[in-house]
Amino acid sequence: MTTVARTGSRRYRELNGWFFVGPSIALIGVFMAYPIVKSLWLSLHSGQGSVMKFVGAGNVERLFSDPIFLIALTNTFIFLIVQVPIMIVLALIMASCLNMPNLRFRGILRTAVFLPCVTSLVAYSVLFKSMFSYDGLVNSILLKLGLISEAIPWLSDPFWAKVVVITAITWRWTGYNMIFYLAAMQNIDKSIYEAARIDGISATRRFLSITVPMLKPVILFTTVTSTIGTLQLFDEPMNITNGLISDVTLTLSLYIYKLSFRYVPNFGYAATVSYVIVVLVAILAFVQFYAARERD
Mean predicted confidence (pLDDT) in 280-288: 89
CA distance 191 to 195: 6
Determine the pLDDT at residue 296. Answer: 44
Has residue 171 got a pLDDT over 90? Answer: yes
CA distances from 95 to 37, 100, 116 (A): 42, 9, 15
Determine the pLDDT at residue 9. Answer: 65
Determine the pLDDT at residue 102. Answer: 82
- What is the number of alpha carbons within 13 Å of residue 247 lying toward its C-beta? 17
Greater confidence (296 vs 247) lies with 247
CA distances from 101 to 83, 174, 182, 188 (A): 30, 22, 12, 14
Mean of the per-residue pLDDT values of the chain: 86
Contacts of 130 (CB under 8 A, 6+ apart): 136, 137
Determine the pLDDT at residue 92. Answer: 93
Q: Where are the domains of the chain?
A: 3-59, 66-291
Mean predicted confidence (pLDDT) in 79-86: 94
Determine the pLDDT at residue 49. Answer: 65
Contact 265, 179 (CB under 8 A): no
- What is the number of alpha carbons within 13 Å of residue 206 lying toward its C-beta? 17
Percentage of the residues of the chain whose pLDDT score is greater than 70:
93
Determine the pLDDT at residue 226. Answer: 93
Beta bridge partners of 52: 47
CA distance 148 to 45: 52
Determine the pLDDT at residue 119. Answer: 86
Has residue 58 got a pLDDT over 80? Answer: yes
Q: What is the pLDDT of residues 99-135, one digit of tens each?
A: 887 888 888 888 898 888 888 888 898 899 999 988 8
Which CATH superfamily includes the segment(s) 66-291?
Answer: MetI-like (1.10.3720.10)
Q: What is the pLDDT of residues 190-236, one digit of tens each?
A: 888 888 888 888 888 888 888 888 999 899 999 999 999 999 999 88
CA distance 157 to 165: 12
Has residue 29 got a pLDDT over 80? Answer: yes
Predicted confidence band of residue 8 (pLDDT cuts 50, 70, 90) = low
